[in-house]
Every structure is written in C-alpha cells, then in structure tokens.
Amino acid sequence: MDFIRGFFNENIVKLYLINPLNPVYNMVKSQDSRWSKYRAWQPLGLMIIAAATPLDWEIELLDENISRLDFHKLPKPDAVGLTTFTSQANRAYEIAKIYRDRGVPVIMGGIHATLCKDEALQYVDTVVSGEAEEIWPTVLEDVKTGRLKDVYDGCFTDMSKTPIPRHDLTSGKYWIGSIQTTRGCPLNCTFCSVTSFNGQKYRQRPIPDVIAELNQIPQKRVMIVDDNLIGTRKDHIERAKDLFRQMIKHKVNKHWYAQVTMNFGEDDELLSLARKAGCEGVFIGFETITKEGLLELKKKFNASKGCDYRDGVQRIHKHRILIAGSFIIGLDTDEKGIGRHIAESAVDMGVDILNTLILTPLPGTQLWKSLEQENRLTFIDFPKDWDYYNLNFPVARYKNFTYEEIINEMMDCDRAFYMRKRCWYRILRAVLTSNNPLIQTVANLGYRAAVLNWRKQYSRFQRTHGLELAAITAPFTASDTVAGVLPSCD
C-alpha cells in the first residue's frame, strides 16, 4: 500500500500515528509481562485514521504498548497524530512535547482530547474531536498548506462510509485482531463515556463491509470492540443474527469475543448462531448485584431483568461460550463486604472471568457531573492525576468507604474469585464441557497474575499518597457538599 502511495506522488510526506504507553496493559513495561501479550490490543482508531489518510502520505503506526520506541532517534516526520484514552494522557503529552520541540505539528484525537479539549490544546497544536474519519483528509491538507487550525470537529460518521482499517500496518505484532461493527449505545449509564462520544443512536455497519474486513484480518482471533454487539431492540438482535449467518455462510472462520448485554442469554437461536459463527466468549457488564445499585447507575436495562442472571449464564454456557463479567465497587448503595459479595455472586452464577473496577468519574460522564457538583472529586491535579483514571484507583470520595477500605474491598473480591483452587476448578469445568479450555486458562491465570501485580501497585499508591489520603479518606456525607472549582472538562 505504501509503495502505491509513493507511486502516486513523489512529494511524499511522512505521518506518524502514535498510541502512547498504557500504564495498565502493555507488553514492554508491565511487571506481569508473561500475560501482557494477551492484553495488548490494536489501536483501531489509528488504523481507521490511517485508512482515511490520502495516498500522498507515508504512514507509520507506532504503538508504545508493543515495542520500545525512542522518539528522539526516529527520523523526523512531517506530522504526528496521537490518540489517547484519559489514563494515557500524560504520556501522550510527553510525546507531543518531543515532536513540538522538533518543530513537527502534533494533532491529537480520540476520547480524551474530545472531552478535555481545552486541556489538550495546551500540549498539542490541534485537536480533532469526535469521530474523525470524514474530517481527517482536510486536516492533513491544512498541514501541507501550513494552515492548520486549533480545532476540527468530527461528526457521527455514516457507518456505510467508514473505511476499512489498515490491518496491514499492525499485522504480526498483536495476538488478537480487532473490528468494530456498530457505534453508539442506546443505554446511557452514568459512569460510561460512550454515549457522550459516540451518541445514543445505535449505528450499524453494512454486513458485507464487516465480512470484507474480517477476511482482511490476519489474526485467527478477533475482538469485536462494539460496546454492545447485539443491541437492545428486536431489530438490533435480528441484525446480529444476520451478521452471524453471513459469517457462517462466508466461512469467515475466526474465533471471536464481544461485549454484549444480558439479553444475549435469552435467545437460543442467537446463541447458537453466534457459536457457529465463531464466538468463544462474551464480556457482560453486570455492574452490580443489587437492584438499587443498577438504578443508581441508571442501568435500567439490567434492572428490568432482575439481578439473578443464573439462567442466562447457564444458557450461554450451554452453547459453549465463556462469560467475563464486569462489576463496579464504590456505589453509594454498596455496603461493607461488597467485594466478597460480588466475588461469591459471580462464582455462584458461574461467571468464568471477573473484572471488578472502582467507580470512576470519567470526563464527560453523568457521574463526573454529579460528583463534581457534590465536591467529591479528589484526584484533580490534572493532567498529572489522569494516571489514576484507569478504573483501578479510588479517585473520588465514596459514600460508605474510605480509600483504604475500597482498596481492601477490591483486593478481597479478586482474592476470593481468583484463589488458586477456584481458577483450577473453572479450568477443569471448561475442559469437561469443552468450553474453550485454552481461553479459560489464559484468562484465569492472566487475571490472577494481574491481580497480584495490582496489590503491589496499591501499596505504591498508598505510600505515594499517604498524607493526601489521610486528608481525604473520610467517607462522604451529604453535609460535605460544596461547589468545587475544576479545570474545564465538558
């Protein structure tokens, strides 16, 4: 492809697209390196941007999570495009400085730059907000003519027009490929930033485009990164079934994993088609074990189904599909002992992999707004404190827990779920039921290693923030509410 680019234009201009180091999952720096290989995912946003780049640009996609990079030593490009999640923002700004000091224009896009535009503009030349594939060629044209603006606003892309990502730029480096088939989420949970970025309208790519892309992905295993592959309405489910039928018909032959809502476990036909199409595991946001908790998080969809998911889990297992369940700790409705309670409920339901996170106000979410109003955001020395916004650290004041307590709840939860004998039990169960034993083993042992690593990180966090923690560690009470003054994040 880059040969064709050169053929079309002798005045080749060079573009670096960079994914900064992710402090949680990477293959180069993490202490739990043996398993990190399975947790480094492709930066799909950059791969789409690459596909939307005009042919006279030569592109290099650089991912700090995959290989060690010395940006001072790499040849000087004509422009740099950076992507960033909130927890990577500090590293992204460091990289931006290296290139701006060398006189290279730096353009930033992605969710953090979109939701914290004013902050990002202090560190980069240009911010492209929102979904960017349509506006990107204009941005690059302006780089060439020296008329780069501060801000370009993307739009909700028509999903039939989004280009096929450049899988060729990353092949061989990642264990698992990625694809996106829908954008937006019809639900609007308080803690989630998807709707403020991709909107509430559920937009689907044409199925032939998805099949064409799947056939271009070199990896045998693929993550479907949609926030909800099957959607919530009847017509969404029908589209998912059609997609699976086409995957079967065209012999796509991939092993894939996806995020879905609990309604996945209600429809045997859907499950059977998914399995035949190659589905080996799904990630489900159960979020909490109480109805009050679900209402607090505005996850009414789950609340309407009650909190006992055993039947759904069993039905999904019957089709030999694994379930990773995600839960959140630190809700106002959570009580002491919640960590252990979540672990036991997940074991009881038969969940295969447990991913528990601390309630975190991400920029742009309803949760951010309400905690800000109640003066409950505590780690607010930005951008420095964004390092802690990876959903594993307590960054706000929680109603019923001090920081110490919430960290202990997290550790109790993980300890109970990932104790050695339970991991081996789940692996044995997967072997006996032929339910993807390899994935079950990699996931359980990988998570167990990550949990042990987190204990070290928590000790470091407590050592570093001992004094600050002492000042903010008291649980929140309503009388603490004072209007807070914070840096601008819309």
In the complex, minimum distance from the CB of residue 195 to ligand SF4, in angstroms, rounded to a whole number: 5
Nearer to ligand B12, 112 or 397 (CB): 112
In the complex, minimum distance from the CB of residue 83 to ligand SF4, in angstroms, rounded to a whole number: 19
The pair of three-digit structure tokens given for residue 115, joined into one six-digit string: 């939701």
In the complex, minimum distance from the CB of residue 287 to ligand SF4, in angstroms, rounded to a whole number: 8
Query: For residues 391-420, which are near ligand B12 according to CB under 6 A?
Result: 391-392
Residue 117 neighbours by CB under 8 Å, 6+ apart: 127, 129, 151, 490
Tokens 């290099």 label which residue?
A: 60
Please choose, out of 80-88, 276-284, 440-448, 453-461, the segment that lies near ligand B12 by the rule CB under 6 A. Answer: 80-88
Nearer to ligand SF4, 42 or 198 (CB): 198
Is the separation of the CB atoms in 332 and 402 below 8 Å?
A: no
In the DSSP assignment, the letter for residue 131 is: -
Give the integer Cα–Cα distance in Å for 372 and 382: 14
86 binds ligand B12 (CB under 6 A): yes
Contact pattern for ligand B12 over residues 28 through 47, marking x by CB under 6 A: -------------x-xxxx-
Give the integer Cα–Cα distance in Å for 451 and 129: 35
The DSSP-derived string for 413-432 is HHHHHS-HHHHHHHHHHHHH
Distance from the Cα of residue 400 to its chain's centroid: 28
Nearer to ligand B12, 88 or 219 (CB): 88
111 binds ligand B12 (CB under 6 A): yes
Query: For residues 179-208, which are near ligand SF4 according to CB under 6 A?
Result: 185, 187-189, 192, 194-195
In the complex, minimum distance from the CB of residue 202 to ligand SF4, in angstroms, rounded to a whole number: 10
The DSSP-derived string for 305-334 is T-S--HHHHHHHHHTT-EEEEEEEE--TT-
In the complex, minimum distance from the CB of residue 280 to ligand SF4, in angstroms, rounded to a whole number: 21
In the complex, minimum distance from the CB of residue 111 to ligand B12, in angstroms, rounded to a whole number: 5
128 binds ligand B12 (CB under 6 A): yes
413 touches which of ligand SF4, ligand B12, none (CB within 5 to 8 A by kind)? none
Contact pattern for ligand B12 over residues 173 through 192, marking x by CB under 6 A: -------x-----------x
Contact pattern for ligand SF4 over residues 251 through 290, marking x by CB under 6 A: ----------------------------------x-----
Q: Between 234-249 and 268-276, two packed helices, what is the crossing angle to 10 degrees?
A: 30
In the complex, minimum distance from the CB of residue 157 to ligand B12, in angstroms, rounded to a whole number: 6
SS3 sequence of 132-154: CCCCHHHHHHHHHHCCCCCEEEC
204 touches which of ligand B12, ligand SF4, none (CB within 5 to 8 A by kind)? none
Residue 421 neighbours by CB under 8 Å, 6+ apart: none
In the complex, minimum distance from the CB of residue 225 to ligand B12, in angstroms, rounded to a whole number: 4
Nearer to ligand SF4, 189 or 247 (CB): 189
Is the separation of the CB atoms in 61 and 169 below 8 Å?
A: yes
Query: For residues 323-382, which are near ligand B12 according to CB under 6 A?
Result: 362-363
Q: Comparing C-alpha atoms, which of 43, 80, 57 is closest to residue 137?
A: 57
Give the CB-nearest residue to ligand B12: 109
Burial 434-454 (b: 16+ CB within 10 A, else e): ebbbebbbbbbbbbbbbbebb
| Residue 429: count of CB within 10 angstroms of its CB | 15
312 binds ligand B12 (CB under 6 A): no
Is the separation of the CB atoms in 27 and 36 below 8 Å?
A: yes
Answer for which of 120, 187, 194, 349 binds ligand B12 (CB under 6 A) is: 194
Distance from the Cα of residue 25 to its chain's centroid: 11
**Contact set with ligand B12 (CB under 6 A):** 22, 24-25, 41, 43-46, 48-49, 81-83, 85-88, 107-112, 128, 131-133, 136, 180, 192-194, 198, 225, 227, 362-363, 390-392
**Contact set with ligand SF4 (CB under 6 A):** 185, 187-189, 192, 194-195, 227-228, 285
